[in-house]
Chain A
Amino acid sequence: MGYPHAPHARETVVLSKYFGDREATTLDGWRKRGGYVALEKALGMTPAEIVGIVKDSGLRGRGGAGFPTGLKWSFMKPGDGKPHYLCCNADESEPGTFKDREIMRWTPHSLIEGCAIGSYAIGAETCYIYIRGEFTEPLERMEAAVREARAAGVIGPNAMGTGKRVDVWVHKGAGAYICGEETALMNSLEGRRGNPRIKPPFPAVAGVFGQPTTINNVETLVAVPHILNNGADWYKKMARPDNPKSTGTKLWSVCGNVARPGNYEVEMGFPFKDFLYDLCGGPPPGRKFKAVIPGGSSVPIMNMEEADAALMDYEGMVAKGSMLGSAGCIVIDDAQCMVKQIARLARFYAHESCAQCTQCREGTAWATKIMERIEAGGGTLADLDTLLEIGDNMTGKTICVLSDSCAVPIASGIQKWRDEFEAHIKGKRCPFRAAAAA
């Protein structure tokens, strides 16, 4: 739903069905709502069967990368004699994204169920749910739900009486966006600095504690029980007829300058223009949309011409020059200064850089300083070329893509809102700040 608003008629409410429903957070409440049926079924199947169904469903990673989940699970070699691990990535820190927090605080048991099924499917007896340290309420609710589920024997050494061990533990982060990167998450879980790792080796070969590991996003895992209950075909039907590559529903976190911010759940392929104006209520009174970042701050910024024509699935967003990413949809209206917001995003990345790679460590800070100098009225046209070149140096050359992500909004900004940059440079001040002061 566009929580805290009531669900819109055009939403397809699956994962968000019980957002706002306090009873759904308890074990009994969850059971009443059909919970843990899928887990029971799964524990009676073979892991290979489960992987097959998930593969067939077309479920793709919902954290931002969109990697096919069934395929990822199939990388875990059964019977290798090594302990396997599932890590649930609940580090949700991509600006604009706030869906996983809602899933965890309203339907914590849905995540436990998804984690348990996922663990079993990949041959893991232990799952760690890595939740960012700032998520006070999701942490409390997940911890409480885990306690309940263990006490009831749903998970633990004898999951649902099957004799199989499925342990799910909550692990609290301590403030680092980069720990949302899967290899950095593993390092953080191990008690290290959250530095991303070089791949290869890949997590499925040598991950957390050096053992085969799969990392999945919260939203990905909570889709699994529904897929098992309703079948892969049901999931596949929720797609554009001409694009079978993007299936199921997606939670879109809409925020910024929009009438009804919140989480919305729609089928893959929903028309973006309808979404923004109809479901989300359009711009605030007296304003017009200027830009939208559809997939969290690391994807290219769309102008409204691109956004109006886009379809909300992986391929549809790429076709219009951006990406679906985490579907953290940041909407910006015509009263905002693009230079200021892009500078603020650059500052975000500079703050979060882990400091390993030269281009990221130095480039994010340098780009921020130039952007802020432009914003303050001290920029030159040459700075724009420098920014693009720095951005080029920061792209495709580092261990992880935080560096690339910093370069993306800067490139979008200079390419599509060059007039705003030039206004700052030529006028030696921010035209929006001046207008507001007037």
Chain B
Amino acid sequence: MADVKTINLTIEDRPVAVPEGTSLLEAARTVGVLIPHYCYHPGLPVAGVCRMCLVDVEKAPKLAPACATSVAEGQIVHVHSEKAREARKGVLEMLLINHPLDCPICDQAGECELQDYTFQEGRKDSRYKEPKRFNPVEDFGGDVVYVPNRCILCTRCVRFMDDVAQEPVLNVSERGDRAYIGKFEGKDLTHPWAGNVVELCPVGALLSKDFLNKARAWELDRTASICPNCTQGCNAIVETRDNTVVRMRPRANSEVNDYFLCDVGRLDYRWMNGPNRLELPQARQNGLLADADWDIALGAAAAAIRGKRALVLASPMLSNEALHLLTRLIRVTGGSGAFRVARGPEAPLPGVKDLSLRSERAANVTGAEKLGFKKTDTPLAGLQGTDVLVIVDHTLTDAEIEAANRASAVVVIGTTLVAGLSNVAAVLPITNFAEEEGTFTNLRGRVQRFLQAKAAPGLARPSWFVLADLLGALGDAANYFLPADVFAALAASHAEFAGLTYDRIGLRGLPVVGAAQPAGVAQ
């Protein structure tokens, strides 16, 4: 960026200094001035069609569209002058003349930019006396439903499919006030990233079938998190209602996923809500595996492990914190750790650098590998009859269950019961990633934090907490009361993670030492 000139101007009486070529809209953002807009989106090419962002530039003959006008030295820009406000009021009025009064039945209510700006700056009444335009609802295929009556023709969806997904399956059809978003018969919105158009739509014209009529926006609790479904590590928002995850949305991160989340990440969240969750600790007493309280179960687990070699079958969905404590367990017992990862087809988003639904469908494959766990399709190959198998939230194939039953004992630490095991000494229920705080390491070595979005079921406890207790029961005290402390211990003992702390990682993440960032990605 060395040779780019800095331009100085004034926006709403605030001095602004930005690189040449910055739009007025982005320049305003840098000083905390939001210029209302619809069609503009930082992840899409500029269209300049909604006309909502018109600003008053002194000495200019006409209002300028802020998204499509570059800064110029010495400009004095007013966003809230009489002229600009009148223009916005005019746009809002025009958008509402055919817009149905659907708010009570529209999913977008509460997170609708048409509602927001109209409430702030629009007319209080409508003076439109003519019949409203009507079009029936359309199924666009995939997860998307299109409600033409509500569409404001901002064309974000078309531009996303054209330029970011690079599969032009949406168009603007017809002209004038007859225009609507169209597609071709038989060619549906089944692109693996198509669900983003729902997110991009400022109004309730494009809706998720999955989320249809499920919850009101204002009923939702929102938590910053990471999508756990593959190794890309897209930043996400977990949205819950009554302690149930009801929606996943992207969280912007220019170094990982820009503004987008693939449809797998968007729609594959039901497993976070159960069913068949382990809720109570269990211990084998008098030959029977029965519910027990935590102390007894931990004691039974420790007894089963003591003196034996532990083969830890650790899910690549476990957090770095849990995995770190497991490495201590492995060291204390002289054992080893391995995992198998499910695979699926890759689905890149071509318009964004290095963004794809990855074939390895788990969040922390890289974290597990960096902490010494072996990735293999036969993780139980080295299991001997004298070993204890510690299964930590990992699924087992039928062959693997047979092998497990030949171990001297099995300790199950997980979220769901593993059926078919005959020699389980103890069951320790833990939280899934939505119910605890921790970090994942994505495929580029980026360590990213996720926060707790909902409460754990029953007596389940955070994975790292349970493992710390188990280590304590084995005589290797691990007195951690915060996941940040576990992470600090991890960073202190693994050179790659040196220097990383929760505070520094924040909500944007940081790469491990020596991580090769893809070209074009800022450090």
Tell me the bound Cα distance from A354 to B175 in angstroms: 5
Check if B176 sits within 8 Å of A361, measured CB to CB.
yes
- Chain B residue numbers with a CB within 8 Å of A358 are 49-52, 91, 94-95, 152-153
Taking A359-B90, A397-B87 as contacts, is the C-beta distance between A365 and B176 under 8 angstroms?
yes
The number of residues on chain B lying at the interface, defined by a beta carbon within 8 Å of a beta carbon of chain A, is: 34
Q: Is B477 an interface residue (CB 8 A)?
A: no
Binding site for A on B (CB under 8 A): 46-52, 54, 61-63, 65, 68, 87, 90-91, 93-95, 97-98, 127-130, 152-153, 172, 174-179
Q: Which of A382-409 contact B (CB under 8 A)?
A: 382, 386, 392-393, 396-399
Contact A355 B62 (CB under 8 A): no
Q: Are B51 and A350 in contact (CB under 8 A)?
A: no
| 11 sampled A-B residue pairs with Cβ under 8 A | A176-B175, A198-B68, A355-B172, A355-B178, A356-B49, A358-B49, A358-B152, A361-B94, A396-B61, A396-B63, A397-B51
Write the A362-379 contact mask toward B (1 if CB under 8 angstroms, else 0): 111110011001000000
How many A residues, CB 8 Å from partner? 30
Q: A351-B175, A362-B98, A364-B176 are in contact. List 19 more A-B contacts (CB 8 A).
A: A176-B175, A198-B48, A350-B177, A351-B176, A353-B175, A354-B175, A354-B176, A356-B49, A358-B91, A358-B152, A359-B90, A362-B95, A366-B128, A373-B130, A392-B90, A393-B91, A396-B63, A397-B51, A397-B90
CB within 8 A of B130: which of A359, A363, A364, A370?
A370
| Contact yes or no, A355 B51, CB < 8 A | no
**What residues make up the interface of A, taking CB atoms closer than 8 Å to B?**
176, 193, 198, 350-359, 361-366, 369-370, 373, 382, 386, 392-393, 396-399
Chain A: which residue is nearest B98 at the CB level?
A362
Cross-chain contact A393 with B97 (CB below 8 angstroms): no
With A358-B50, A362-B94, A369-B130 as contacts: A353 and B176 at CB distance below 8 Å: yes
Interface of A is mostly: helix
B176 lies within 8 A of A393 (CB): no
Which residues of the other chain, A, contact B179 by a CB distance below 8 angstroms? 355, 361
Q: Residues of B contacting A399 with CB < 8 Å?
A: 48-49
Q: Which residue of chain A has the shortest Cβ distance to B178 in the bound complex?
A: A355
- Please state if B130 and A366 are interface contacts (CB–CB under 8 Å): yes
The B interface, classified by DSSP as helix, strand, loop or mixed, is loop
Residues of A within 8 A of B47 (CB): 356
Known: A358-B50, A359-B90. A364 touches B177 (CB 8 A): yes
Q: Give chain B residues whose Cβ lies under 8 Å from the Cβ of A366.
A: 94, 97, 128, 130
Tell me the complex Cα distance, A370–B61, Å. Answer: 30
Q: How far is the CA of A39 from the CA of B234 in the complex (A)?
A: 63
Central interface residue in A356, A358, A373, by most chain B CB within 10 Å: A358
Give Cα distance in the complex from A347 to B55, angstroms: 30
In the complex, the chain B residue whose C-beta lies closest to that of A398 is: B51
Whether B177 and A359, one on each chain, are in contact in the complex, defined by CB atoms closer than 8 angstroms, is: no
Q: Could you tell me the distance between the alpha carbons of A359 and B129 in the complex, rounded to whole angstroms?
A: 17
Which of these, A355, A373, A397, contacts B176 with CB under 8 Å?
A355
Contact A386 B177 (CB under 8 A): no
Q: What distance in Å separates the Cβ of A406 from its nearest Cβ neighbour in chain B?
A: 11
Whether the pair A355, B174 counts as a contact (CB closer than 8 A) is yes
Shortest beta-carbon distance, B4 to chain A, in Å?
18
Q: How far does the alpha carbon of A382 sit from the alpha carbon of B128 in the complex, in Å?
A: 12
With a cutoff of 8 Å between Cβ atoms, the chain A residues found around residue B177 in the complex are 350, 353, 355, 361-362, 364-365
The chain B residue sitting closest to A197, CB to CB, is: B48
Alpha-carbon distance between A396 and B90 when the two chains are bound, in angstroms: 12
Would you list the 3 A-B pairs with minimal beta carbon distance, nearest first? A393-B90, A355-B179, A365-B177
Chain B residues within 8 Å of A352, by CB: 175-176
Query: A357 to B153, alpha carbons, bound, how many Å?
Result: 9
The distance in angstroms between the C-alpha atoms of A232 and B233, with both chains bound, is 69
By the criterion CB–CB under 8 Å, are B65 and A198 in contact? yes
CB-CB < 8 A to B50: which residues of A? 357-358
Q: Which residue of B lies closest to A383 (CB)?
A: B129
Q: Which residues of B contact A354 (CB under 8 A)?
A: 175-176
**A400–B62 CA distance with the chains assembled, in angstroms:** 12
Q: Nearest Cβ distance between residue B38 and chain A, in whole angstroms? A: 9
Interface centre among A354, A361, A365 (most CB of B within 10 A): A361
Given A353-B175, A355-B177, A358-B152: A363 and B94 within 8 A (CB)? yes
